[in-house]
DNA sequence: CGCGCGGTGAAAGTAAGTTTCATCCGTGGT
DNA sequence: ACCACGGATGAAACTTACTTTCACCGCGCG
């Protein structure tokens, strides 16, 4: 027997609610009561059980089912998930985050977290957007072919430098990092053609790093700079320049966003180098992972 | 009878999937099969009936229910609607980025950059979403009131630990970091009531860090853990637990995304502590900035 | 060697969703 | 005025989905 008209809602991309309210007048009174509840608060409706919803609409479960069919659903469960999905989508769009700016003086932790995360994520994304793949490619190539790699950085950028060094080392490249300027200078003096010196400085004005890069360059090494400012002094002593895109909020002198951006770049270079020789990199990584295995304890399942 | 620990997922605004993947290693094998299906395609899972899902995971309905409870849901229907909601939200733009997964073997630099940046940014955002402001608040408070702060971390997490130490130090808090386990243990043994020990470990299974935290705790210090896995061993020796939300691609053993996530958390804590006493923090920051001024060179800035 | 315990699925039990059907009520034809 | 008719509706039967219980298995530990 031919059942109800059944309006197709199978693919109502964004408009289940709209769809329902559209055919609201064509529904029977009892179904309308259900429909109104659903339209008024989809998320809430999705949470209810069919009996619950029926009671709320002062009707029977049967009517709710009929309503489901009327709007083109197979049954109640399907309606439920669609409603949940619908409700979730129509929540966020208008983003009310504290964009870009500083952290307001009276902010609570939740606000602080949202702001920082937003800026950090932003810095990462924007950095990626403005990174020049061609330059990256050259850097990757240079590193891959290098006899020795020195990574320089001071202060906050020192962590990044150190990190990069460690990463390269893990995939079997000969890389160094020096926390101390004198040692760094010494090392730079020993570089030569075919070697690489990478200087990291957010501001691009850190004289120590610039000086070391200069030294390295004068010895014939290829120099690479990673900075946030494309025309800062450090770029003048670098053969290849990579830039980050971070806008720091004044309150975070630690240069956090910039550091995340730097790490992202380092990461890209690292993966690029590793991808050059998958097999070798993989072997090296596995070996290093194996090495620390003894320092791991078993997975701590639920507390017994 | 006391049921399982039940990690709160009651309000996991955007991070159900993240939450689940964090809990993954602490689940039993059969539950892990279910979890993997769910994480792989939440929308699809939401469409399935419990029997269907159980079959797909080659297990019984009972296990699926157990899985629901393990991740903090009341039952299967609740999981279902949450998944539907989740899935609806994460319909990423038209973008066909290689999400979460590995970098394809033949990828060029541009692809690598896009993928990494996407995952990194994602890790930062998701971490922020699932961070519990209340716990952060407690940590901030503890740090603010602490006589001494020790930050521990090994390997990649060591950089983060070191970074945190340096940041705290810059705003005038007495903080230490030790690259060496023995020294760290020694230091931990000297901690007491009112002091804080912070242990950072992505996997939460680094025995060195756990050991040190344990030592610190036995001396009466408040212990804080920062890890990606809410039920890993490290959480058992921590009074306060903060979690990151990073899904690593296998090719990046360096745990990059996780490190960005960790840094974001560190940042939040740092700003939180600094905000506690704006004046003092500001003064300290200015003083430290002034100190390195001599190491900066001229024009530098922007397009100088 | 056996004791206990976590993990597991079969099966029993319960709740949710669906169908059936009798009733109600308004309508229009006689 | 009466009564057939048909749509709307909810009670109850029925089916399916979800949840709980329980016995078993395999494994680590004393």
CA distance, residue B23 to nearest chain A CA (Å):
10
Averaged pLDDT for residues A185-212: 91
Inter-chain touch B163–A156, beta carbons under 8 Å: yes
Averaged pLDDT for residues A259-274: 90
pLDDT digits (tens, 9 = 90+) for A209-248: 999 999 999 999 999 999 988 778 898 899 999 988 876 5
B127 touching A (Cβ < 8 Å): yes
Distance A49 CA to D5 C1' (A): 36
Closest residue (Cα, C1') to D20: B62
Q: Residue window 210-239, chain A: list those with CB within 8 Å of chain B.
A: 210, 229-233
pLDDT, position A139: 95
Full 3-state SS string of chain B: CCCCCCCCCCCCCCCHHHHHHHHHHHCCHHHHHHHHHHHHCHHHHHHCCHHHHHHHCCCCHHHHHHHHHHCCCCCHHHHHHHHHHHHHHCCCCCCCCCCCCCCCCCCCHHHHHHHHHHHHHHHHHHHHHHCCHHHHHHHHHHHHHCCCEEEEECCHHHHHHHHHHHHHHHCCCCEEECCCHHHHHHHHHCCCCCCEEEEECCCCCEHHHHHHHHHHHHCCCEEEEEECCCCCHHHHHCCEEEECCCCCCCCCCCCHHHHHHHHHHHHHHHHHHHHHCHHHHHHHHHHHHHHHHHHECCCCCCCC
Nucleic strand D under 7 Å from the C-beta of A99:
no
**pTM, rounded to two decimals:** 0.73
Q: Which of B237, B230, B204 is nearest to B21 (CA)?
A: B230
Averaged pLDDT for residues B69-87: 89
B46 touching A (Cβ < 8 Å): yes
Averaged pLDDT for residues A281-285: 63
Inter-chain touch A229–B300, beta carbons under 8 Å: yes
pLDDT, position B63: 93
pLDDT digits (tens, 9 = 90+) for B12-55: 445 788 888 888 888 888 899 999 999 888 989 999 999 999 99
Q: Binning pLDDT at 50, 70 and 90, where does residue A255 land? A: low
Inter-chain touch A233–B299, beta carbons under 8 Å: yes
Mean pLDDT for chain A? 81
pLDDT, position A251: 43
- For each of the domains in chain B, give its residue range(s) and CATH number, in order of start: 16-89 (1.10.10.10), 130-293 (3.40.50.10490)
Asked which of A163-177, A210-224, A245-259, B193-207 is least confident by mean pLDDT, the reply is: A245-259
Residue B284 pLDDT > 80: no
Asked which of A143-147, A176-180, B280-284 is least confident by mean pLDDT, the reply is: B280-284
Inter-chain touch A300–B236, beta carbons under 8 Å: yes
Q: Which of A4, A77, A2, A70 is nearest to A33 (CA)?
A: A70
């Amino acid at each position: 027997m031919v059942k109800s008209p059944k309006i197709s809602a199978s693919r109502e991309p964004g408009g289940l609610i709209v769809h329902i309210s559209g055919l609201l007048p064509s529904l029977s009174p009892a179904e309308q009561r259900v429909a109104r509840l659903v339209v008024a608060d989809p998320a809430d409706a999705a949470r209810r059980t069919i009996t619950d919803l029926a009671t709320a609409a002062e009707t029977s479960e049967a009517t709710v089912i009929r309503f489901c069919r009327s709007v083109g659903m197979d049954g109640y469960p399907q309606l439920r998930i669609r409603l949940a999905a619908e409700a979730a989508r129509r929540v966020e769009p208008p983003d009310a985050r504290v964009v870009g700016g500083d952290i307001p003086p009276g902010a609570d932790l939740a606000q602080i977290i949202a702001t920082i995360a937003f800026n950090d994520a932003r810095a990462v994304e924007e950095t990626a957007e403005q990174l020049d793949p061609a330059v990256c490619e050259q850097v990757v190539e240079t590193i891959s072919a290098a006899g020795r790699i020195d990574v320089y950085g001071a202060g906050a950028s020192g962590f990044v430098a150190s990190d990069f060094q460690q990463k390269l080392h893990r995939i079997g490249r000969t890389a160094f990092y020096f926390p101390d300027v004198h040692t760094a200078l010494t090392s730079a003096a020993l570089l030569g053609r075919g070697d690489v010196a990478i200087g990291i400085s957010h501001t691009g004005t850190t004289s120590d790093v610039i000086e070391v890069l200069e030294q390295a360059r004068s010895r014939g090494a290829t120099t690479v700079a990673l900075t946030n400012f494309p025309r800062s002094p450090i770029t003048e002593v670098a053969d290849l320049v990579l830039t980050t895109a971070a806008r720091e909020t004044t309150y975070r002198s630690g240069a956090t966003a910039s550091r995340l951006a730097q790490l992202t770049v380092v990461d890209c270079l690292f993966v690029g180098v590793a991808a050059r020789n998958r097999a070798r990199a993989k072997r090296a990584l596995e070996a290093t992972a194996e090495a620390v295995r003894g320092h791991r304890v078993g997975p701590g399942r639920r507390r017994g």
